[in-house]
C-alpha cells in the first residue's frame, strides 16, 4: 500500500483499495445533491491501519458547491446542522458551547477556522438580549492562532479557556489536507474524535480530544490543500498503472520527492489559485450549519440580524 | 472643581489647580527632549480625590514625537526601557512576562495595545533558538480583544491565561483618554497600579491589577482621544475665564452636553484626523522600549532580525 | 453670523438662522421614517453666502438608522434609489457609470467611499454573463485613494480614467463633516454639484464637477465627523445664549481654538467611538441604494448573488 | 520536448535540454552569493521556440535568501539596483518613473507586486520637500489590481495613467510561475520585454510593453508558484528517466492531468505553505533594490525616514 497523507478518513479507507478492513464499516448514501459516506472505526488495529483514531467519520461531498449553487449550499448547510445536532451533547444549564477556529488567518488555505469563527453567532455575553431572551443557547468562539496571540500554542490557549469557561462541548473547525484535489472546497468531514497531532494544514502539535480536555470535542473540517508530495506520487502511480508497470518502490518515490520538492522553504502544497474565495465561501456554509445547530429556536433572519 | 475625565494621573492632579493635595507628591524633571512627571498617590483619600488608585504614575512627554523626530523617538524609547526595568520584578526561572495589548484592533484610537503586541518579540516558544540560546527571557503576548475572540471578555481571557502560564509579571498596554488634546500621541504614562474599571478608550469593565490576578501588573498607556464632552466643557471654561465670568454651573454644562452631544451613537470622542498613523507610530516606539527592557542581553539588531 | 464648517447645505442654511436668503429655496417633507430637505441654490450671491455652489441639495435624515432598524434601512435605501434615478442621466449605449469612492480606506471616518465601492456591483467586465445578459447596465468603480496608489492625486486618477472610459455619469461617494454631531451616521446628502475643493473629511484639493471633467457628477455623502473647533464654538455659543450673554467675538473664539486645539498633529475631529461600525453600516445602505438605481432590471437577489 | 510552463526565460532554455539554440545566447556568472544567468533572445524563431519575446532576461538566484540571511539580502538588492540602473533610461526633466505592482493583493502568491508598491518611496507629490529638495527623482506607484478597482482591467488603468502622467519609464513587478519549485522565493528575473499576455500568476490578458504603451517597460518578477500540472509531469518524467523508460506520450500526460487535476475550481498551483511570509520578505528586498536605483542621491537612511 503506497504511503499517502490525507486528513479524510474516507480517503484513508479508499487507500486500502476498497477491500474490507476488519474493524471498519463504511456506508454510503445520497440526499439531494450531497453524497454522504460514514466510516466507523471500531477497533484499535483498524485505527492503526487507517491512521485514524477509533470513532465516527461522516463525509459530505457536493461538487456543486464549487459552482456556488445556492441550492447546493443550502442542502449542505442543512445536512451539517442535522449531523451536528446528532453529535452535540444536549445543552444543559448555562454551560456554553465553545467554537474553536484552528489555523492561521494569514495563511490562506489554513484560514478556514478563523473564517468560521468570524461568522459564528456568539451569545454568551448577550444571553439576556431583549430580542431573543430565553431562546438562545450560550455560545462563545475563539480563533487562537490569530496574530494577536504569540508565544502561546493554540491548544494551550484552548485548554486554559476550557478550564475557565467549562463548556458543555467544543466544536473545532480546521482546514484539512486531502489526497484527491477534486475534494478541495466541496467536502466536509465531521467527526467525534477531535483533533489529532499532525493533522490539519497547520499540523497541530498537541491533541484536542475528549481525553485531553475532558469535554466532548466535535470537529468539522474541509480540505483546502493536497500535499505536493502526494500529488507527485499519485501522478506516478497513475501513469504506472496505465502502462501496466508495477508500482514504483518507495525508495524511488522518496528520491523523486527529494529531487523535485526539497526546497528549504517548508512543505509544498497544491491548492487552487482561487483558494481565498473558496475558503471564504466554505466558511459561510459551515458557519450557517453551525449557527442553526447551536440556536435551534432562532430563525435564519434573527441569526442574520444579530450577526450584523 | 469642574468634573473632567482623564486617564492621566498628572492631568487629574493639574485639575486640582496645582495646589498641594495631601497624600500626593509630584516631581518634574527633564532629560534630552522628554519632560518627566512623577505623581505618587500615597493615601486613600488622595486616591479618591484624584480618582486614581494609590501607586506611582510616571508620565513621559515629548511633543517632538509628533514630528517623527528620530532622536526624540530614540530618547523616549530609552527612557521607557529604563523605567520599565525599574518597575518590572526581577525575572526568576523560566516564568514568562505576559504582554497584554488591550483594546479593539478595529477601533482605530483603541488599537494601540494590539499594535504593540504585533511588534513585541515573543520568545516563550523559541527559548532554545540557536542564535540566542541562554540570553533570552521568556515573553509571550496576547491581544485579547481582537475579532478572533467573541463572547469572552478580555479580562476573562487574561485571567485564564495567567492561571495557565503563571507569568512573573503582566505588562499591559492600552489607549488612554486625556483632557488636553495636545497630549495625544506624544505622552506615555507608566504605572504599577494596573488597569482600573472604566479606564481606557475601550472602558474596561473589570480590573486587571495585582489584586485581581495575583501577579504584578505594570501598565503603559498613551492618550489617543479626548472625550468630546471634556473638550466642550473646557472650551466654555476657558472663554468664561477670559471674560472674567464665573465658571458655569454643572447643570448648564450637563444641559449643553445633552443638547450638543446626545446622539444615540455612543460616546463622542475628539481625535486627530491622522490618528491611524499616530497610533502605528506610537506602537513602534512603545514596543521598542518594551523589547529592550525584556531582552537586555539582545542587541537592537538581534531583536530586529528575530522579529522579521 | 458665526463661522461654522459643514459640508451639508441644509446646515449652511440653518446657520443663516432660518431667515429667508434670496436665491435659496428650501422645502421639507417626510415619508415613512425619513425626513427630506431640499435646498436649491439658484444664484451666485446665495452660493457665496452659503459657501455652496449653485445646484440642488437633497438631504435624507433618519435617526432610526443608528438603531440599525431594518425597516429604516430599507426605506432610506429606497429613497436614495429613487432620487439617484431622478438625478442620473438616462443611460445611452454602452457607456458605463463610474462610481468613485473618495477618501482613505485607512482613516476610518474617511473610509465611507471605499466601503461603498467594495459593495458596488460592477458589471463592465461581465456584461455578457449568461445569468443577466441584456438586463445589466455597465458599471465600474474605483477607490482612488487606497494604499495601492501613491504619488498620484485621487482627482488626477479619476480624470485619467474618465478620459479612458468615457462614462455617461460619475457617481461620487464621500465622507462629510457636519456641524451637528447628531447627524453623523444617519444623514445622506445628494447633490448634482459634484465635489468641491476643501470639502469632505479628506479635504479634496481639486474639484470633481461637470465643469472639471465634462461628465455629469452626482455626489452622495454622509457626515462621519464634526470638526472639534466647530463643537467648541457651538458649546460656547449655546452656553452664552442660555445665560443671555452676547455671542463671543471671533477673536476670543480663535484664541480658544489656538489654546485648546493647536496640537501639531493635524486637525482635530469629533466622531463617535463606534465610527468603524457606523461607516460599514452606512456603506451597505448607500451601496444598496446605488446598486438598485444602476441596475433597475435586476432583483435584489440577483444583485446579491452576483456580488458574492 | 515535453511541454512545460514557466515565466523564467532561463527555465525555458533549460527545457531545450541545454543544447545550443540558434538566436539564443546564455551566459552565467556569480558574485558573492548570487548566481546570475543572462539569456539573450535575438531572433524571432528563437523567441517562438522558447515562448519568450526577443530581448534580454537576467536571472539572479540566491538560495540563501530563503534562510533570510541579511548578507544575501543585501547582496541581492544591490545587484538588482545595478541592473535596474543599467536598464532604466536616463531620467530627463521631471517625468516620473511609474512603478506598477501587478497582481491581486488578496491572492497570496499573486500579491508580490502590490507588496512592492507598498514599500516603494513615491516622491512625485513631495519633490519640493525641504529635506531632499533637488536630490529626488520623481516616482509614483500603483497597484491596479487591488480591491479598490473593479470592472476595469489592470492594463486599462495603467494605460490611462501613462497617458496622464507621461512617465519616462514603467517598472512592473509581478509574481511568476516557475518550473522548478526550488526557485520559488529566491530567484529574481529582470527583463526589458515588459509583460506578455498569459504570463504571471494572475495570467494577464493584455500586454504591457514598450509597443503597447510607447514607454520603456522594465519588468521584475519572482516565482511564487509552480503549476500543479507541471509538477505532476516532472514527477513522471523524473521517474521514467530513473527507470530507463522512455518519456510518456503527451496523450498519457494529458489523461493523467485530467484525472488527477480536473477539478472545477480553476487551476491548481504548488506553493510553499509559508508563501505569505516569503512574499512579504521578497517584496522588501525588491523594493529596496528599486528605491536605491530610482533615488541614487538619497542614502538608505533618508529613504527609510521618508518611507515611515
Least confident of A173-177, A261-265, C102-106, D161-165: A261-265
Task: Say what the pLDDT of residue C255 is.
Answer: 79
Which pLDDT does position C55 carry in this prediction?
A: 95
Instruction: Kindly report the length of chain C.
Output: 308
Q: Average pLDDT of C28-52?
A: 93
Chain B / chain C CB contacts < 8 angstroms: 149
Q: C225 to each of A77, B36, B107, C4, C184, how far by Cα in Å?
A: 42, 34, 15, 14, 6
Do D121 and D291 meet the contact criterion of CB atoms below 8 Å apart? yes
Q: How far is B29 from chain A (nearest CA, A)?
A: 36
Give the nearest partner residue to A148 out of B117, B123, B152, using CB atoms: B117
pLDDT of residue B247: 67
Decide if C108 and B273 are in contact by the 8 Å CB cutoff: no
Contact at CB, A281 and C70, closer than 8 angstroms: no
Residue of C nearest to D126 (CA): C151
Q: Do the beta carbons of residue B77 and residue B70 sit within 8 Å?
A: no
CB contact under 8 A, C124 and D156: no
CA distance D27 to chain A (A): 25
Residue C257 pLDDT greater than 80, yes or no: no
Whether residues B151 and A123 touch (CB distance < 8 A) is answered with yes
Give the nearest partner residue to D305 out of B70, B281, B305, using CB atoms: B70
Residue of C65, C67, C69, C70 for testing the chain A interface, max A β-carbons within 10 Å: C70
* Total-model pTM: 0.87
Residue A261 distance to chain D (closest CA, Å)? 6
Q: What are phi and psi of C297, to 5 degrees?
A: -90, -5
Q: Residue D242 and residue A256: Cβ atoms within 8 Å?
A: yes
pLDDT of residue D240: 75
Query: What's residue C1's pLDDT?
Result: 37
Residue D1: pLDDT above 50? no
Residues of chain C in contact with residue D96, where contact means CB-CB under 8 angstroms, are 151
The predicted pLDDT at position A197 comes to 82
Grid cell 497531532 is found at A197
pLDDT at C224 over 60: yes
Nearest to A260 among D63, D181, D253 (CB): D181
A-chain residues near B157 (CB < 8 A): 161, 164
Mean pLDDT of D142-150: 75
Q: How far apart (Å, rounded) are the C-alpha atoms in residues D7 and D273?
A: 21
Average pLDDT of chain A is: 87
A66, A235, A271 member nearest D271 (Cβ): A271
Q: How many helices (H) and strands (E) does chain D have?
A: 10, 10
pLDDT digits (tens, 9 = 90+) for A205-243: 889 999 999 999 999 999 999 998 888 888 777 777 777
D245 or C179: whose pLDDT is higher? Answer: C179
Which of A97, A136, A145, A151 should be substituted to probe chain B, the one whose Cβ sees the most B Cβ atoms within 10 Å? A151
pLDDT for residue A1 is more than 50: no
Say yes or no for a CB contact (<8 Å) between D235 and A238. Answer: no
Give residue D92's pLDDT band: very low, low, confident or very high (50, 70, 90): low
Instruction: Determine contact, residues C195/C219, Cβ cutoff 8 Å.
Output: yes
Distance (Å, rounded) from C-alpha A177 to C-alpha A184?
8
- Using CA coordinates, name the residue in chain D closest to C156: D164
D294: cell is 530610482
Q: Which residues of C touch D205 (CB under 8 A)?
A: none
Cell of B26: 509630584
The candidate with the shortest Cα–Cα distance to C225, out of B274, B174, B147, B204, is B274
A128-137 residue pLDDT tens: 776 777 889 9
Task: Kindly state the DSSP code that residue C297 receives in the 8-state scheme.
Answer: T
Neighbour count for residue D63 (Cβ, 10 Å): 19
d(CA D192, CA D204): 17
Ramachandran sector of residue C280 (left: φ over 0; alpha: ψ -120 to 50; beta: rest): alpha
> Chain C: residue nearest A277 by CA?
C308
A125 or D7, higher pLDDT: D7
| Predicted local distance difference test score (pLDDT) of residue D236 | 76
D69 versus D221: the higher-pLDDT residue is D221
Q: Do D184 and A252 touch (CB under 8 A)?
A: no
Q: What is the pLDDT at residue A91?
A: 67
pLDDT at D263: 56
pLDDT at residue B37, as a whole number = 96
pLDDT at C2 over 60: no
3-class DSSP state for residue D122?
coil
pLDDT attached to residue D140 = 94
| Mean pLDDT of all residues belonging to chain C | 87
Q: Report the greatest alpha carbon distance in chain B.
A: 70
- Those residues whose C-beta lies under 8 Å from the C-beta of residue C130, and which sit 6 or more positions away, are none
Closest residue in A to C308 (Cα) is A281
Residues of B within an 8 Å Cβ radius of D: 68, 70, 281, 305, 308
Q: How far is D114 from chain C (nearest CA, A)?
A: 7
The shortest CB-CB distance from C308 to any of A68, A305, A308 is to A68
Contacting residues of D for A263, CB less than 8 Å apart: 66, 181-182, 184, 272
CATH 3.40.50.1450 fits D9-222+275-307, yes or no: yes
**With contact defined as beta carbons under 8 Å apart, do B300 and B293 qualify?**
no
**Residues of chain C contacting residue B253, judged by C-beta atoms under 8 Å apart:** 239
Within chain A, what is the greatest distance between any pair of CA atoms?
Answer: 70
Nearest to A225 by CA among A103, A120, A118, A143: A103
The position carrying cell 453623523 is: C184
Measured between beta carbons, which residues in chain B are less than 8 angstroms from residue A118?
A: 147
Tell me how far the alpha carbon of residue A301 is from its chain's centroid. 27
Q: How far off is chain A from C103, nearest CA to CA, in Å?
A: 24
Ranges under pLDDT 70 in chain B: 1-3, 17-19, 91-92, 130-131, 146-149, 245-248, 262-266, 308
> Which residues from C are below 8 Å from D163, CB to CB?
160, 163-164
Is C236 in Cβ contact with B235 (below 8 Å)?
yes
Q: Is the pLDDT of residue A149 over 80?
A: no
Residue with cell 507608566: B190
Three-state secondary-structure class, residue B273: coil
Give the best residue of B222, B246, B268 to mutate against chain C (max C CB count within 10 A).
B268
Please give the Cα distance from C127 to D187 (Å, whole number): 40
From its phi and psi, is residue A307 left (phi > 0), alpha (psi between -120 and 50) or beta? Answer: alpha
pLDDT of residue A2: 43
Cβ(A109)–Cβ(A92) below 8 Å: no
Under 8 Å CB pairs connecting chains C and D tally to 100
Query: Bigger pLDDT: C261 or A42?
Result: A42
Q: Which of C107, C201, C274 sits opposite B265 (nearest CB)?
A: C274
Partners of residue B147 in chain A, C-beta under 8 Å: 118, 143, 146
Among A161-170, A264-273, C13-22, D73-82, the minimum mean pLDDT is found in C13-22
Chain D residues touching C151 at Cβ < 8 A: 96, 122-125, 138-141
CB contact under 8 A, A271 and D266: no
User: pLDDT at position B235, please?
Assistant: 79
Q: Are B68 and D281 inside 8 Å of each other by CB?
A: no
Q: What letter does residue C89 receive in the DSSP assignment?
A: P
Amino acid at each position: 500500500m503506497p504511503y499517502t497523507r490525507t486528513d479524510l478518513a474516507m480517503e484513508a479507507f479508499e487507500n486500502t483499495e476498497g477491500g474490507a478492513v476488519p474493524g471498519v464499516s463504511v456506508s454510503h448514501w445520497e440526499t439531494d445533491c450531497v453524497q454522504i459516506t460514514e466510516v466507523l472505526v471500531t477497533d484499535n488495529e483498524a485505527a492503526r491501519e487507517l491512521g485514524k483514531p477509533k470513532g465516527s467519520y461522516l463525509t459530505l461531498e457536493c461538487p456543486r458547491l464549487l459552482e456556488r449553487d445556492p441550492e447546493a449550499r443550502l442542502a449542505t448547510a442543512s445536512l451539517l446542522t442535522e449531523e451536528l445536532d446528532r453529535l452535540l451533547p444536549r445543552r444543559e444549564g448555562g454551560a456554553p458551547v465553545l467554537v474553536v477556529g484552528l489555523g492561521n488567518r494569514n495563511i490562506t488555505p489554513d484560514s478556514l477556522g478563523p473564517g468560521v469563527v468570524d461568522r459564528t453567532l456568539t451569545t454568551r455575553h448577550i444571553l439576556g438580549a431583549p430580542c431573543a431572551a430565553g431562546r438562545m443557547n450560550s455560545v462563545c468562539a475563539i480563533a487562537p492562532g490569530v496574530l494577536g496571540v504569540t508565544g502561546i500554542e493554540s491548544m494551550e490557549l484552548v485548554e486554559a479557556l476550557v478550564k475557565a469557561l467549562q463548556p458543555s462541548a467544543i466544536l473545532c473547525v480546521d482546514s484539512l489536507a486531502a489526497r484527491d484535489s477534486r475534494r478541495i472546497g466541496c467536502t466536509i468531514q465531521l467527526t467525534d474524535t477531535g483533533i489529532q497531532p499532525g493533522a490539519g494544514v497547520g499540523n497541530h502539535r498537541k491533541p484536542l480530544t475528549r481525553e485531553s480536555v475532558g469535554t466532548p470535542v466535535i470537529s468539522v473540517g474541509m480540505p483546502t490543500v493536497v500535499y505536493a508530495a502526494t500529488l507527485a506520487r499519485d501522478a506516478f502511480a497513475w501513469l504506472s498503472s496505465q502502462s501496466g508497470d508495477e508500482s514504483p518502490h518507495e525508495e524511488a518515490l522518496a528520491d523523486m520527492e527529494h529531487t523535485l520538492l526539497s526546497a528549504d522553504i517548508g512543505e509544498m502544497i497544491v491548492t487552487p489559485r482561487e483558494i481565498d474565495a473558496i475558503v471564504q465561501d466554505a466558511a459561510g456554509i459551515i458557519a450557517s450549519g453551525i449557527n442553526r445547530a447551536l440556536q435551534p429556536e432562532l430563525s435564519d433572519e434573527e441569526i442574520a440580524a444579530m450577526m450584523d
